[in-house]
Amino acid sequence: MSASRVAAQIDDPDSVLAAIETRFACRAFDRNRPIDREVVEDILRVASRSASGTNTQPWKVYVLQGQPRDDLVAEVLAADDAVSDDPNLVAAYRDDPDFYPSEWVSPYIDRKRQNGWSLYGLLGIARGEKEKMRVQRQRNYHFFDAPVGLMFTMDRVMGRGSFLDYGMFMQNIMLLARAHGLHTCPQAAWNYYGKVILPFLDAGPDETLVCGMALGYADQQMIVNTLQTPREPLEVFTRWVESSGERIVTGHQFGERP
């Protein structure tokens, strides 16, 4: 470890905070503002400073822009249209089915619903307006008009810990994007089409699709980008472990407010 890192002070701690607080899931990008290759490379290079268990660095990143990006968008949209016509096709396109739980439970199902209805409410989409929902959902498969799409894969042999590593790597990408004036949207939506995407990328048979991500300059006019997502207060997800005589007490239950 170099001495300079140990002794280093962050000159502007607020910039770290600002990167975290100004990141949000951007769902409308300026399609006419491309990103220089050097900027994408710089983001990925620095992001790779992420911690990973035993320094395994499980990430494999495919960068799509220009024609390959548009071709992938077209292929996945065609597959998604086919699924809309025949929902039985879902299994035919999906590579790894367990990104989300097969059975949702509280409080996660409640937060998921709240998130969906906030988004649709902002966009003026009412319950039952299935076609409008489908169109909004398909915005995912346009990378929300971002000029750069990232696809993240990992070797199938890796374990659960590597997904943890991957999350840190992706978060670093999202924060570094802020340093360049860029925004991002991590997108699990692509995971429904792993069997289209992996062959398109010429990924090896050992690779599985982890996630996608849109990267670009935010469209500042679009109302969708004003969505503010709530967070549970600290007390709801934190328990302080304290000793009380012989016993260890951890206070209130998770999910409760003390």
Ligand X SMILES: Cc1cc2nc3c(=O)[nH]c(=O)nc-3n(C[C@H](O)[C@H](O)[C@H](O)COP(=O)(O)O)c2cc1C
117 or 240: CB nearest ligand X: 117
Looking up tokens 């998921």 gives: 112
187 forms part of the interface with ligand X (CB under 6 A): yes
120 forms part of the interface with ligand X (CB under 6 A): no
152 or 198: CB nearest ligand X: 152
- State in angstroms the smallest separation of the CB of 188 from ligand X: 4
H-state helical runs in the chain? 3-7, 13-22, 37-47, 66-85, 90-93, 108-122, 130-138, 160-179, 194-200, 234-237
- State in angstroms the smallest separation of the CB of 182 from ligand X: 15
The Cα 181–Cα 36 span in angstroms is 13
Do 225 and 27 touch, CB atoms closer than 8 A?
yes
162 forms part of the interface with ligand X (CB under 6 A): no
Candidates 213, 209, 180; CA nearest to 27 is 213
Written as one string, the DSSP assignment of 160-185 is HHHHHHHHHHHHHHHHHHHHTT-EEE
- State in angstroms the smallest separation of the CB of 45 from ligand X: 22
Please pick, from the candidates 24, 120, 163, 200, the single residue that binds ligand X as defined by CB under 6 A. Answer: 24
> What string marks each residue from 134 to 153 as x (binds ligand X by CB under 6 A) or -?
------x-------------
185 forms part of the interface with ligand X (CB under 6 A): yes
15 or 229: CB nearest ligand X: 229
